[in-house]
Amino acid sequence: MSRQMMVVSTLEELTTARRLLDEPLGFVPTMGYLHEGHLSLAHRAREECKSVAASIFINPPQFGPLEDLSKYPQDLERDLRLLEQAQVDLVWTPTPGIMYPDGYQTWVEVQDISLPLEGVKRPGHFRGVTTVVAKLFNAMHPDRAYFGQKDAQQAAVIRRMTRDLNFPIEIVVCPTIREPDGLAMSSRNVYLSLEQRAAATVLYRALQTAEGAYGEGERNGESLRQTMKDVVASEPLAKLQYASCADHETLQELERVTCKALLSIAMYFGETRLIDNVVLG
């Protein structure tokens, strides 16, 4: 059945709108400023579910004090147009006051796998993510929720939380959508100057070079990390934060790659922080 997309803000409106949706319901949580990466999640949900809902919420607790919360890009009108074209049935756009009213004091924290990689560089980030996703799940009651491989650690942390807290929700992780030159799509790419944008192809190039070495038989974790670092060092505008070759499940750094592994990388171009990853094996 095709009908007009519903856009709601309050919890009461959401509850009423949710009752009108057929099941199974697929859910795509976002922070808005949508691009093809986000839309690929909505398309996948559309293929697999009777109804599709999305949320647009820039979640303050997942930003550190020195991060880009106040200047995070926004264009709600355009986002809604794109979601409507993607045949989304319901969009929830709560405010920070709805999600975290006065007196709010409950947090959801996944322990070990929140700690390495992004957890080291962005302390408290995943506590903000898991808390908001748990709240979104509790309000939306989806059957499936769609996340991007682009944020591999986030997907792993959310999968763990979903299991640990018995959410009856299937977590679906979808492939990273890239620009033609390989740069992973990200709302933050708009911050890059032309020069930085050209330099940013180094992320995927570093991952691909290490993936190539793995393809040729390299199994030493440190060598794969060093391969990525060497590629990044050739790009003067890139400031590397980490280059990791870790166990795909535990996210612990590997000495030897004998299982499925996650190659991941984070770096700054000026003030803009970008991440990317590929899976080996």
Active-site residue identified among 38, 43, 141, 248 = 38
Q: Which helix (DSSP H) or strand (DSSP E) does residue 8 occupy?
A: strand 6-8
Burial of 248 (0-12, 13-18, 19+ CB in 10 A): middle
Helix (H, G, I), strand (E, B) or coil at 271: coil
> Closest approach of Cβ 158 to ligand AMP, in Å?
8
> Closest approach of Cβ 42 to ligand AMP, in Å?
10
Let me know: does 268 contact 256? Beta carbons within 8 Å. no
Q: Using the minimum distance from each CB to ligand AMP, give the nearer residue, 25 or 177.
A: 177
Q: Using the minimum distance from each CB to ligand AMP, give the nearer residue, 28 or 254.
A: 28
Q: Which two tokens stand for residue 172?
A: 């679906």
Q: Is residue 37 a contact point for ligand AMP (CB under 6 A)?
A: yes
Q: Which two tokens stand for residue 98?
A: 């709805």
> Closest approach of Cβ 150 to ligand AMP, in Å?
4
Q: Is residue 122 a contact point for ligand AMP (CB under 6 A)?
A: no
The pattern of x and - marking residues 148 through 167 that bind ligand AMP according to CB under 6 A reads x-xx----------------
Q: Which two tokens stand for residue 102?
A: 């006065």
Report d(CA 114, CA 127) in Å as an integer.
Answer: 8
Q: Is residue 38 a contact point for ligand AMP (CB under 6 A)?
A: yes
Let me know: does 92 contact 140? Beta carbons within 8 Å. yes
Contacts of 138 (CB under 8 A, 6+ apart): none
Q: Using the minimum distance from each CB to ligand AMP, give the nearer residue, 132 or 261.
A: 132
Among positions 100, 147, 191, 242, the unique one binding ligand AMP when judged by CB under 6 A? 147
**Interacting residues with ligand AMP between 249 and 268 (CB under 6 A):** none
Report d(CA 125, CA 146) in Å as an integer.
Answer: 20
**Interacting residues with ligand AMP between 123 and 142 (CB under 6 A):** none
Active site residue 43: no
Among positions 153, 187, 227, 277, the unique one binding ligand AMP when judged by CB under 6 A? 187
| Phi, psi of 6, deg, nearest 5 | -90, 135
Q: Is residue 184 a contact point for ligand AMP (CB under 6 A)?
A: yes
Q: Is residue 116 a contact point for ligand AMP (CB under 6 A)?
A: no
DSSP per residue, 34-77: --HHHHHHHHHHHHH-SEEEEEE---GGGS-TTSSGGG----HH
Q: Which residues bind ligand AMP (CB under 6 A)?
A: 30-31, 37-38, 40-41, 147-148, 150-151, 174, 176-177, 184-187
Kindly list the catalytic residues: 38
